[in-house]
Amino acid sequence: MYDLEINLDNNPGALALMGRALGEAKVSVEGGGAWVVQGQGVAHFLFEDGEAARAALEGVGITVVTCRKVLVQRLKQAVPGQLGMLTGLMAAAGVNIEVLYSDHDNQLILGVDDYEAGKIVSDQWMSQL
């Protein structure tokens, strides 16, 4: 799975343009969100095919800042403290979490500064579930 950081205009219709472009390219959004930060629309969305999403968005003039492979995690929702435990393990391994959100399947999506080191932690975490 891939997270795309996307710059959007901060005006009515910006998300609609994005959604139409992805729909016409038959690219599904698997999770993510959008915010206004200092007057600029900033979005992070999850895709199975990051390059297809990038091509569709850039084809209509939308700026894709980054396309990165992400870690996908399950948390035990009934157990308090799961987020703190997982993120603490990442921190102990020296992995900085730069993006965090949930997908449409209630999984935690992590964009990290060191994918390989993060994957080691992620794989250990998943083996304990």
Per-residue model confidence as pLDDT tens for the chain (129 residues): 999 999 999 999 999 999 999 999 999 999 999 999 999 999 999 999 999 999 999 999 999 999 999 999 999 888 999 999 999 999 999 999 999 999 999 999 999 999 999 999 999 999 987
Q: Record the pTM.
A: 0.91
Return the ∠ at Cα 18 (arms to 16 and 21), rounded to 5°.
Answer: 105
Task: Determine the Cα–Cα distance for residues 101 and 86; give it in Å rounded to an integer.
Answer: 14
